[in-house]
Structure 1
Amino acid sequence: MELHTANTKIAIHPTFKMWGSWIAYELCLMRDIYNIASIRGLLFVFDIENADDDAREALIASKNVNDEKELSDLFDLLLKPEFFACEQKGRETLINTVAYFLNKNDDFDRVFERMTTYFDDEVVDQVKFMKVLLVCLQRYQKER
């Protein structure tokens, strides 16, 4: 799959076909604009609109989204492969985007209000959730 823009042809990893090209574009396009939609796109793996894997859905529902260790373990299982599907620049942009909105003291309502997840519980502290996400993404990046 390829995404064509005015001056660029971008190869889209097969994983992103189910996400729709606009999310893949936001996630992996090599640019330095911080867009909260990129975070939403990365977290799409937890969204009920991504309904193609019963085992994944059961795994998500079995975890306590408000427990840092369980959340980190879940990110390792489900987000790490998605993160590595992006090119280096896209991964850096994702990390910088999460850090940017954390530094702006964003409440991340724009991410969570538009998302219905398989988690059994609501995310109690959205900022804490994003801090755990940032630590995991930074750790993944160091692994490469």
Structure 2
Amino acid sequence: MKFKPCLSITQGLLFTYCIENSYNPEREELISSKNVNLEKDLKELFEKLTKPEFMKYKHDERQWHIDTLQHFLAVGDSFDSVFYLFDTYFEDEILDKRKFMNTLLSCLLSYDAEATANEST
């Protein structure tokens, strides 16, 4: 089944980083300790906080997230709508939202490949 690209699912995936998420001092400290504008720090956050949830998704759900990011990157979207009224624990403002999303996409592709390999064993 193929779903239409939808940025609201991306915002849902990133809810882990939102201050409206459940209170978790360890998670909040980890998020605020990283520089969201450094790819290395961002990948560490995604590995620790996004990957565990993403790996629980079914293949078609994982693919929907990937397809959504690929689509909106391809059409040149700024991703401002994803972060509009979305307060996070990031200490720094995200300077390049497209770079942020490219990094997220790269990680999701890697996680999906790992999950697919695990499913076939």
Whether these two folds match at TM > 0.5 is: yes
**Alpha-carbon separation, structure 2, partners of 1:79 and 1:92:** 15
AA at the equivalent of 2:27? R
Are 1:93 and 2:68 matched, yes or no? no
TM-aligned CA deviation for residue 33 of structure 1:
1.2
- Corresponding residue number in structure 2 for 1:103: 74
1:47 to 9, 14, 18: 18
Structure with the largest fraction of strand: 1
What is the percentage of aligned positions where both structures have the same residue? Answer: 45
**Alpha-carbon separation, structure 2, partners of 1:33 and 1:114:** 24
- Corresponding residue number in structure 2 for 1:113: 84
**Alpha-carbon separation, structure 2, partners of 1:84 and 1:73:** 16
**Alpha-carbon separation, structure 1, partners of 2:63 and 2:95:** 27
TM-aligned CA deviation for residue 31 of structure 1:
4.5
**Alpha-carbon separation, structure 2, partners of 1:43 and 1:114:** 13
AA at the equivalent of 1:103? A
TM-aligned CA deviation for residue 114 of structure 1:
2.6
Q: Which has the higher contact order (CA 8 A, sep 6+)?
A: 2
TM-aligned CA deviation for residue 113 of structure 1:
1.1
Secondary structure at 2:113's aligned position in 1? helix
Using the TM superposition, name which of 91-100 and 30-39 deviates more. 30-39
RMSD: 1.0
**Alpha-carbon separation, structure 2, partners of 1:31 and 1:138:** 17
TM-score (norm 2): 0.92
- List structure 1 runs of 4+ shifted beyond 3 angstroms: none
Secondary structure at 1:82's aligned position in 2? helix
1:74 to 45, 68, 74: 45
**Alpha-carbon separation, structure 1, partners of 2:60 and 2:54:** 11
**Alpha-carbon separation, structure 2, partners of 1:79 and 1:114:** 20
TM-aligned CA deviation for residue 104 of structure 1:
0.8
